[in-house]
Structure 1
């Protein structure tokens, strides 16, 4: 029964984390397009609260519940390479998460190294991770 609770909490944390991963880069698009100081400051506050208040805790919860499930069921590693591929995708996703945090810090300093078109493409990256991870978990192609 514990394992099922952990799985449910893991899925909830993943959904919350991805909600932030989808929305933060969209805020970056609008931030890069903003032309007045009041808007830029408002976006900085929104970005910081999303990153620290939702995305960070959700990422940690996702990792804690996922690792806990692996400890309880190490046989998941024996079922083929799908789990290894999923974990590799999760590591890359954590890198993307931190790249978002680095960009957030640049905006907070008043820097805008990329235009809104870059952030529109940057915004699509988590979709690719979501597709890969869900397919790996459900289809288990390896």
Structure 2
């Protein structure tokens, strides 16, 4: 079991934001719980973007089998911490154990689904749309174009 520290990982180092602290609140009791998480003043986000851009070309060249194994390892690591994760989900959301376990299974299942997709070379197939006199022929293929940042609220505690 890994202890929660309130730190984030950026690259291969731990990072703690310095713009205040946020703690989880147990919805059943209203009590604060877990470690305090350091809020980011933008420094961490900027560093994450810089690191993603620096890693992009190398990761883009990574073979699909290596990417698939990476996703499967993430799923296995989450499952190895299942008791702690389920307890955290329950404490932070007031969801029951069955629902919290379903959330973990959904997350690990999606990771493995994407890994399985990478094992099928057809995902990279080029597509051709035949042209006409009025419309040119169009070819497309799926290739990574660059890092993507997504900020969004979620009702899925392990998404």
- Fold similarity call, TM over 0.5: no
Point out the structure with the larger helix share.
Answer: 1
TM-score by length of 2: 0.34
Point out the structure with the larger strand share.
Answer: 2
Bigger RCO of structures 1 and 2 (CA < 8 A, at least 6 apart)? 1
Larger radius of gyration: 2
